[in-house]
Amino acid sequence: MTTTTASRTPPRKETNGPTPEQVRRGRRTAFLLFALGFGPMILATIMYYTGWLNPAGHTNQGVLITPPASVTALNLETLSGEPLAKRFSAGQTDPQWLMVVAASECDSRCEELLYLARQANIALGKNADRVSRAAVLGDITDDLTARLPTEYPLMERLVPTAGAAPTWPAGINPEREPRIMLIDPFGNVMMHHGPRTRVRTYSRI
C-alpha cells in the first residue's frame, strides 16, 4: 500500500499590529486633520484679539509671512537645551500652535505683547491648550523678572541656541521692535505682529 504524504503549507505569519510606515502615515493624517480642523478657529481668534490683519490700515497691523519661514532657522532652544524645532515633527501626538514674543529689551511695548499673547490664549476657551506661549527676551527689568512667574506662569522662556544666532524672518527685528510670531503645528512661522500704536492701560488678570 502506497502512503501519500500530503504537502503542508507553512502557517501564515500573523501580524500583531500596523507596520511602522502605517503608524507614521496615520500620525501624519491625524496631524493634518488637526491643522485643518482647529487651525482656522485658532487663527481667527488670535487675529481678532490681537488685531492681526485689521483692515483699518494701522501701521501696527499683523503681517503674513509669504512663504512661511521655518522654525528651524530661528535657532532657539528651551532653557533645558531642547531645540524648539524638535517639537514640530510630524510624529507629535499632541501638536500645538505657538505664539512667541521676541524682544531684545522687554520694555512697556514688549510687556504689552506678553499680555496680548496671554489674552488671545485665554479667549480660545476650551481650546486654549491647543496654543502655547513662549518668549525670547533679552534685557528685562527686575520688576518684570519678579512678576513673570505669577502673571505669566505658562510663558515658556526660550534662548538662542549655543553657538548660533537666530535668523529672523523678513520684517522681524527684535533689536528694533518687539514682535509676536505665530508658528503653526508644522513648524512654519506664519505671521508676526508688533505693539499697538498707542500703548493702552490694561488691567491684569
Range among 115-119, 120-124, 148-152 rated most confident: 148-152
- Cα(50)–Cα(27) distance, rounded to whole angstroms? 32
Name the maximum alpha-carbon separation found in the chain. Answer: 106
Residue count (the chain): 205
Lowest mean pLDDT among 46-50, 58-62, 89-93, 141-145: 58-62
SS3 label, residue 29:
helix
Question: CA 182 from chain center: how many Å?
Answer: 6
pLDDT in tens, 64-82: 888 889 999 999 999 999 9
Is 19 a residue whose pLDDT tops 80?
no
Q: Give the cell for residue 142.
A: 527686575
**Helix ranges, 51-184 (H):** 108-123, 142-151
Given a cut of 80, is residue 100 above it in pLDDT?
A: yes
Average pLDDT over every residue of 99-121? 90
Burial of residue 127, with CB atoms counted within 10 A of its CB: 0-12 exposed, 13-18 middle, 19 or more buried: middle
Average the pLDDT over each of 83-97, 112-126, 180-194 and give the range with the smallest value: 83-97
Contact 130, 42 (CB under 8 A): yes
CB 166 within 8 A of CB 77: no
Q: Can you give the C-alpha Rg of the chain in angstroms?
A: 23
User: Per-residue pLDDT averaged across 40-57, rounded?
Assistant: 54
Question: Which grid coordinates belong to 16?
Answer: 500583531
Question: CA nearest 155: which of 71, 202, 98, 88?
Answer: 98
